[in-house]
Amino acid sequence: MAAMASLARRRAGDVFRPEAVRRAAVFCRGFAAAADENDVVVIGGGPGGYVAAIKAAQLGLKTTCIEKRGTLGGTCLNVGCIPSKIERCLDSAPQLQPFSCGLLMALLHSSHMYHEAKHAFPSHGVKFSQLEIDLPAMMAQKDKAVSGLTRGIEGLFKKNKVTYVKGFGKFVSPSEVSVDTLEGGNTVVKGKNIIIATGSDVKSLPGVIIDEKKIVSSTGALALPEVPKKLVVIGAGYIGLEMGSVWGRLGSEVTVVEFAPDIVPSMDGEVRKQFQRMLEKQKMKFMLKTKVVGVDTSGDGVKLTLEPAAGGEQSILEADVVLVSAGRVPYTAGLGLETIGVQTDKAGRIEVDKHFMTNVSGVYAIGDAIPGPMLAHKAEEDGVACVEFIAGKEGHVDYDMVPGVVYTHPEVASVGKTEEQVKALGVSYRVGKFPFMANSRAKAIDDADGLVKILAEKETDKILGVHIMAPNAGELIHEAVLALHYGASSEDIARTCHAHPTMSEAVKEAAMATYDKPIHI
């Protein structure tokens, strides 16, 4: 632990080196010349974009942020993580497509409250004579939460003196962005440095046309007028499982169709199996190694024609609503990248160097528009690092240490390597596990499904990966993120005092199980 503290002090010292300060100050003064030109222009006001804009302004750079939607926060806040979790976050928002982590978070929370009231409250001595869903009220709560958060970002823009332009921007040159404003006019915004933070869009499937009524994207799934009796989710990734959880809790019969042999393929295999069993316990059905080859919407509902991924006999699956959640793709349509010659890879992602600069000098890209995890918090880190480079400072994002969270119940959170990845690397390792069934806090609140799993290098005990399935796994994971950043050992965590009774004690016990033996099992 002393070594970690020493390393932290050294890193802090590096940030405040006199030469670094002088270099940044000179760079910033050089930016202040032209009154009609911005130092930084950000296209996209999602998590990556608005954070980049605020950070740039804080560093003394004249900054403008362009956002088509007219509300800041992007996909994550307006129609994704936050809305569903009042019921996960993606990235800097596309200028047009409005899936929001905000809406999803709202609905995840609201639907969980209903599910708890119906299934868990009686065992705690809390009984109702009548319990019902008021879907309009639930949606109103979602909208209220999101509205307050988006207004909060506008307040931060004013506080930090970021100019906010509402409209759709496209490049006319590497230093000029033409904006068709929401008021119907047009203006040209000039910038010495332009950051593309336009996020991602829903990945389409051949022959499956999204109408946002019977066949919906994640956006449409957050605004259904009634609880569908039968919901089919195409895609067993983060968003599909979260959306399925929302409507399953509210009474839908949910079937998940997945082409791959496993759900959430990036998840640790052992944890994945336990996670799937928990979802099946919640009556979610899975059809793995299955592909959709036909869609019929001529009747009242939807009829999907399915067949095994490897080919074989076809079958029909009927649903009232079908959610297409087969992943996301970078959103760059209409930006005029071809006009200025910005290069993209085969997946449509903008190619950047270690400073987030594209092949065009002065043009940068962050978030979902570039390679790396499509997560809101990754986009935020990209944004901060990018403007630090622009300001002559040092920025850094380690994509191997970006935590991922599935916001179902229980949640699943992870950081670092899975056991499969460690095996593939040929590294000798140890594994420590601790179930929440042996955690006093989890048992006391009758919510003890899940475990903590820690992987550490055998010779050095350095932590390689941490995986948690628990009601609040998304909060517990950050102790592990910090430990990985500072190269901690499992013994470092095990010898750190954890308050009792807390869920976090399971992390300590798993660490004890990794390098020695746990106490409470």
Domain boundaries, the chain: 35-87+98-201+327-401, 215-326, 410-515
**H-run or E-run covering 246:** helix 238-249
The whole-number pLDDT of residue 12 equals: 39
Name the strand (E) or helix (H) holding 392: none
Q: Would you state the structure tokens that stand for residue 495, as one six-digit string?
A: 């010898």
pLDDT at site 71:
64
CA–CA distance, 125 with 91 (Å, rounded to integer): 42
Q: What ranges make up the beta strands (E) of 297-410?
A: 302-308, 315-319, 321-324, 328-330, 363-365, 404-406
Taking only the tens of pLDDT, the chain with its 521 residues reads 444 444 443 343 343 333 333 333 333 333 333 347 999 999 999 999 999 999 999 999 999 999 987 666 444 444 444 344 433 333 333 332 334 566 778 888 889 988 999 989 998 999 988 899 998 888 888 778 777 777 888 899 999 999 999 999 999 999 999 999 999 999 999 999 999 999 998 888 988 999 999 999 988 998 899 999 999 999 999 999 999 999 999 999 999 999 999 999 999 999 999 999 999 999 999 999 999 999 999 989 999 999 999 999 999 999 999 999 988 999 999 999 999 999 999 999 999 999 999 999 999 999 999 999 999 999 999 999 999 999 999 999 999 999 999 999 999 999 999 999 999 999 999 999 999 999 999 999 999 999 999 999 999 999 999 999 999 999 999 999 999 999 999 999 999 999 999 999 999 999 999 999 999 99
DSSP 436: G
Residue 260 is inside which H or E element, if any?
Answer: none
At a CB cut-off of 8 Å and minimum separation 6, what does 33 contact? none
| Cα 267 to Cα 252: distance, rounded to the nearest angstrom | 26
Residue 260: CB atoms within 10 A of its CB come to: 14
Which amino acids are annotated as binding site for FAD, given as ranges?
Answer: 85, 169, 198-200, 368, 374-377
DSSP SS3 for 234: strand
Place of tokens 């596990």: 433
Q: Does CATH number 3.40.50.10860 belong to domain 35-87+98-201+327-401?
A: no
Nearest to 234 by CA among 111, 317, 315: 317
Instruction: Enumerate helices (H) and strands (E) in the chain, giving the number of each.
Output: 17, 21
CATH 3.50.50.60 fits 215-326, yes or no: yes
pTM of the model: 0.86
500 is catalytic: yes
Q: What angle do CA 77, 198, 363 make, to 5 degrees?
A: 140
CATH 3.40.640.10 corresponds to the domain 410-515: no
Q: Residue 109: what pLDDT?
A: 87
Catalytic site residue from 124, 355, 478, 500: 500
Asked whether this chain's domains 35-87+98-201+327-401 and 215-326 adopt the same fold, the reply is yes
Mark the binding-site residues, compressed into ranges: 85, 169, 198-200, 235-242, 258, 327, 368, 374-377
